[in-house]
């Protein structure tokens, strides 16, 4: 919005400093001020799961002039490295978060000003913001100390065993002493297990000094004896570090993967396996491989075509109260990259032909390994495919990603001896497919029917090239 005379407008991320005041005659008791603009370049949320970002490198240096839309800094999110652009023209006055450092989403990572006169002021503000977090942390121990010093409150006094009707439980020796000292045993409070009256309790009630023989039983279970046990258990829990070992902090991507895996534990899942004959698939692959088609693209296409017939397997349940039938079939495929794992998404995989799908997949893999994927290219999946067959893995179970209904794990194709209904033996290639699904919305019969459809497509793959 353009500025009116004597008026400046700015966004909510704008920090201000007062300039000399201007007095208006109509309102002699009020002072209005024109404010200088110091805009913040903040850490953007590059994905729905991103909580903090790491500065890979600053493209611009302090003092450089910037134009709106120009890339300023490269940020590592939980899935990719992305250029962050400026929304304003101005001068990069101060870098708040340096290369290699992290900052939470929404935090200021740099300061932008309009004129050179404001650079010094912006640098002072950056220095102040950098030193301010140290003050609360230094004061934290002293503030927390009074909370730790008071001992825990004593336990409430035990309710007297004489309250209300009860059955008197006493040792034979205690009953004998009660008769001897003419003590009503019903009025004696027992100190033994479950209120059991001991001889020492009777002697105390009678006002007689307890004898050594009577005192010894309650004193014998000395509480000091078991105390070393908890300490030794606590000590054994903290294992000593192995000599030569080193602690490696998670990268941003590894932290995101760990967070997603922990979230997946809250979803009730089940797994169904299915053997699929792959002779026809192998023949098709040998035919289309020279044209640049990959096995992963073929499997993704087959899964997408099966999902068309079984939309519940493509559904999503996020809150446990309802679920959504997704209108698009977006097949995410797990890819191992340096330092983590990412799932590029083949959007509308059922609508693309096999050759276009393979081309799209190659582009996504290149961008993933260069950490240049855009958020919609890795967080829009509705079904996930994980293929370890190229590594010779026979079978494995995959963990369901949060926000999806199912994930398919594909193993290697192996020659297998089979017997037909007439008792004749033959050798055919088979692969094991395991699907992990959200049992809140997908049931065993749903998954079995989906796998049967997938198997028919793989065993008769002509429809994949149409």
407: left (phi > 0), else alpha (psi -120 to 50), else beta?
Answer: beta
Neighbours of 385 (CB within 10 A): 24
Task: Decide: helix, strand or coil at residue 465.
Answer: helix
Containing H/E element for 172?
helix 172-180
Tokens of 105: 């989403």
- Cross-strand partners of 316: 324
Q: Are 161 and 189 in contact (CB under 8 A)?
A: yes
- What's the Rg (C-alpha) of the chain? 36
Q: Are 76 and 372 in contact (CB under 8 A)?
A: no
- Is 439 assigned a catalytic role? yes
- Cross-strand partners of 29: none
Tokens of 32: 């209005």
What are the backbone dihedrals phi and psi of residue 11, each rounded to the nearest 5 degrees, phi first?
-80, 175
Instruction: Tell me whether strands 32-42 and 108-113 are parallel, antiparallel or unpaired.
Output: antiparallel
What are the backbone dihedrals phi and psi of residue 456, each rounded to the nearest 5 degrees, phi first?
-65, -40
Query: Which strands form 32-42's sheet, in the order they lie side by side?
Result: 14-22, 32-42, 108-113, 90-95, 65-66
Q: Are 46 and 375 in contact (CB under 8 A)?
A: yes
DSSP secondary structure letter of residue 399 = P
Residues in the chain: 466
Instruction: Identify which of 110, 107, 108 has the alpha carbon closest to the alpha carbon of residue 95.
Output: 110
Instruction: Tell me whether strands 32-42 and 81-85 are parallel, antiparallel or unpaired.
Output: unpaired
Residue 60's contacts (CB-CB under 8 Å, 6 or more residues apart) are 66, 70, 72, 73, 92
Location of structure tokens 């201000």: 16
Between the alpha carbon of residue 188 and those of residues 182, 183, 360, the distances in Å are: 12, 8, 87
Q: How far apart are CA 69 and CA 269, in angstroms?
A: 45
Given 181, 310, 376, 439, which residue is catalytic? 439
- Cross-strand partners of 134: none
Tally DSSP H helices, then E strands, for the chain: 11, 17
Location of structure tokens 């002697």: 203
Residues involved in catalysis: 439
């Amino acid at each position: 919005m353009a500025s009116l005379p004597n008026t400046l407008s700015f966004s909510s991320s704008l920090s201000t400093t007062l300039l000399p005041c201007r007095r208006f005659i109509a309102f002699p008791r009020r002072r209005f001020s024109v404010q200088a603009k110091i805009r913040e370049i903040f850490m953007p949320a590059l994905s729905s799961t991103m909580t903090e970002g790491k500065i890979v490198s600053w493209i611009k240096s302090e003092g450089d002039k910037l134009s709106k839309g120009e890339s300023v800094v490269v940020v590592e999110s939980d899935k990719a490295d992305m250029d962050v652009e400026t929304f304003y023209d101005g001068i990069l006055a101060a870098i708040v978060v340096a290369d290699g450092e992290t900052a939470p989403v929404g935090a200021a990572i740099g300061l932008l000003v309009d004129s050179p006169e404001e650079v010094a002021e912006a640098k002072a503000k950056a220095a102040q913001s950098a030193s301010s977090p140290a003050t609360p942390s230094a004061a934290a121990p002293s503030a927390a100390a009074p909370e730790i010093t008071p001992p825990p409150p004593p336990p409430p006094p035990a309710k007297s065993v004489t309250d209300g009707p009860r059955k008197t439980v006493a040792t034979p020796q205690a009953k004998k002493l009660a008769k001897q000292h003419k003590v009503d045993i019903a009025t004696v409070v027992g100190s033994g297990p479950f209120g059991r009256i001991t001889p020492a309790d009777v002697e105390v009630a009678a006002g007689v000094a307890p004898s050594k023989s009577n005192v010894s039983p309650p004193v014998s279970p000395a509480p000091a004896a078991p105390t070393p046990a908890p300490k030794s258990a606590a000590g054994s829990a903290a294992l000593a570090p192995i000599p030569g070992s080193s602690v490696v902090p998670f990268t941003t991507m590894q932290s995101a993967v760990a967070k997603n895996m922990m979230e997946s534990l809250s979803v009730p899942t089940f797994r169904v396996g299915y053997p699929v004959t792959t002779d026809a698939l192998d023949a098709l692959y040998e035919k289309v491989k020279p044209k640049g088609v990959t096995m992963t693209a073929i499997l993704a296409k087959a899964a997408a075509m099966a999902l068309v017939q079984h939309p519940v397997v493509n559904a999503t349940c996020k809150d446990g109260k309802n679920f959504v039938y997704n209108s698009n079939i977006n097949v995410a495929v797990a890819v191992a990259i340096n330092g983590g794992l990412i799932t590029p998404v083949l959007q509308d995989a059922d609508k693309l032909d096999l050759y276009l799908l393979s081309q799209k997949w190659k582009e996504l893999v290149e961008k993933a390994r260069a950490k240049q994927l855009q958020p919609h290219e890795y967080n829009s999946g509705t079904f996930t495919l994980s293929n370890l067959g190229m590594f010779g893995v026979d079978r494995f179970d995959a963990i369901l990603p949060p926000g999806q209904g199912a994930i398919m794990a594909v193993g290697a194709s192996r020659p297998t001896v089979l017997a037909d209904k007439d008792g004749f033996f033959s050798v055919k290639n088979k692969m094991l497919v395991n699907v992990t699904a959200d049992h809140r919305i997908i049931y065993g019969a749903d998954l079995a029917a989906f796998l049967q459809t997938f198997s028919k497509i793989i065993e008769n793959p002509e429809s994949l090239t149409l």
